[in-house]
Structure 1
Amino acid sequence: MAGPQKRRSGGIPRGLATTGPVLFSYGFRPFFLGAALMAIMVMALWILALTCGLPVGGSYGAAHWHAHEMLFGFAPAVVAGFLLTSVPNWTGRLPVSGRPLMALFGLWVAGRIVLLQPDLSGIGIAIAIDSLFLPALLLIFAREIVAGRKWKDLKVLIVLALLSAANIGFHVAALIGEHGGLAQRLAVSAYTVLIMIMGGRIIPSFSRNWLNQRGEKLFPIPFSTFDTVAIAGGAMALGGWTLLPESHLTGLIALVAFGLHIVRLKRWRGHAVFAEKLLFILHTAYAFIPLGFLAIALGTQDYLGANSVLHVLTVGAMATMMLAVMTRATRGHTGRVLAGSRTTTFSYASILLAALLRPAADLMPNHMTTLYAAAGLFWIAAFALFVVEYGPMLTRVRRVGLADR
């Protein structure tokens, strides 16, 4: 169990805050709640922008604002909450908590506020403020990983560096009036690589523990050379998609990655944990990784449009995995039983429907508006249900988590 705050070199207080707001006692609390509220707000405002012409984003542009806030507003908050909670477990160092956590969260919030109407502060100032958060995360985790000598986790820093670069690239494209397709694909690729890495760490481990508790004898296959090959193949496919999304070579590599990750997923025996939705959703979310590679391959042959390919990965793999991690981590680190409630199951069903309907909208132009609206409403429902059920866990009670025992 982590103790009260202490001072490390540099005078930064670390450790779980035992006084002050519960919300800032651990990294997952403010960032998971903030991410969920952000997901609801961005989608609601985007729907109003499409239907009523609401001028969100000012001169930055509503479409640019929507894409940016999903990729560089909502998603980094989930990543921050996950890593601020997990990295101390990896390194054995005390977590960032209390006032330093408030400052970091405040930096994220500031970026969201200024980009909502960037013309009020000046678009250059708004972009500068927004661009601070991801590098700040990078520096925090670099310090922790280097100090903890966990060299194998340096790959997380590479992902954060790519996201920082993609964010700046997206801003540059928006400023010159271009679509930030390259920056979008780079960001999505970085998140997908992170899911491939962390999914391989947590999904078979959590599944094995659950099966072992029930006396099962067949377990997920642990990390091996095959997993390294699968991750490398996936990274190559994503690199090709980022730089050459229409190349036939990209499509061929993506097909290979599709096969590798189908096999990888099968090795984790997801069907055996179907009864526990808190676990099964992790396997389901990961299934969108090979589906994303298949979509990339189909996109190179013009069978799928660029938006469909993008949303298989963003809504399917990224958002579903993020919601799955948010629910499980919140329960685990607040001392709750690791079992999905009916409300949690409904939130999973909602995000999966959004993940299926959003790419389908591009395939059925005659029903596009209806499918857009339905996907958006299911997205809002998924995160609204999270806020209703998990908001009180994150803000009201300071409990010792299962992971701290």
Structure 2
Amino acid sequence: MEAPPAGVAPLEPDGTQHLQWRVYILCGLVAFLDGFDTQSIGPAADAIAASIGMDIKDFGPVFSASQIGFLIGAVIFSALGDRFGRKRMLVAGTLVIAFSSLGTAYAGSYNELLAIRMLAGIGLGGVTPNFISLASEFAPPARRTRVVTMLWAAVPIGGMMGSFVSSFTLSQFGWQAIFYLGGAAPLLLVPVLVFMLPESREVQRGANDRSAPPLRVAPIEALFGEGRGLATLWLWLASWMTWLLLVVIGVWTPSLLQQAGWTTPMAASMLGLLNAGGVAGTFLIGVALRFVPAQRALMLALMAAAASIVMLGTFAHSFAAVAVAASLAGFFSSAAGGSLLALSASLYPERVRATGVGWSLGFARTGAVLGPICVGWLVGLQWSTASIYSAIALPGLLATVLVFLLSRTSTFRAAIK
């Protein structure tokens, strides 16, 4: 750790394991709430639609609204995090999540629900680049990729918990109870973040050293200046392909399996295996990064995810084969997502890290919005289940090529030294 200038109060000893683990745990709790909110809306969709007098077939834009909001939040909050501090943006984003969840419980019309879910997406998109950047900032450089990857596992864990809680509360207390809980939990977390989470070291330095330059970074200049343009381009395209695959496989698997002749409960069980595999993959890739370079692990995960997805379609009429394929698809696609986030966090210097991660995620969310629409178009054209799954796998292979190109850039080589 650098010694502070003469006459300047030293920063909190952020090299200690105690402080590092405090940051990891608090950022992990925010990530958990991110996943919880994201997965809570799906199981409650039918009940919500019935309560406000709409047809469930018209619920698609409500799901898309949160994805669009995520894009907006990731882009705006990431730049604000680099300028004003990541802790402040985490607190602000967590408050947005809390109030939008509570607002969902009181939505009385389609337009209100649409607006509230977009607001929820803004909060979710706002916290993600900032908890990734803050955790990676306090992690030792040699462990940064593993910390970020394993931290990301809190998102699918929160998603699994959100699905479980939704299933229970829907029958016992009604759909509104899901969002009361989803609003209360982040509200309780906010004061903990305020008093226990340290601020970005760059912000601390700026507060202690009046001569330090302010954290004012133009996003385009930060991401494409100083020779980082080509690396940023390859990262964005790889992120677009990877998150398209991640979202599409989760959203469409139940419907595609039903198209192949499965019952609704059987198809839903495969979605559970997909999520369980995702949790395991995100955790274990963090361990693997101790021994394998992040870019190599990412390329292997992307190729394995593509192969597993093709297997899903090829053996769609075999319960045992699909169970294995779904578990592997969840495992490798989530491992790829976690590795990609870790790679993007390592690619940019500390002063623009949240911007780099956030804009990459924001660009990727356009794929998350368009991907499900494209698959719906293929379903409308009456493509076979096997053909559709092969089309879904293609972005994984393209992303592999893009990660290889990224690894050949001078920016990447300098970042991993």
Same fold (TM over 0.5): no
Which category describes the TM-score, using the shorter chain as reference length? Answer: 0.3 to 0.5
Structure with the higher fraction of residues in helix conformation: 2
Q: TM-score, normalised by structure 1?
A: 0.34
Q: Which has the higher contact order (CA 8 A, sep 6+)?
A: 2
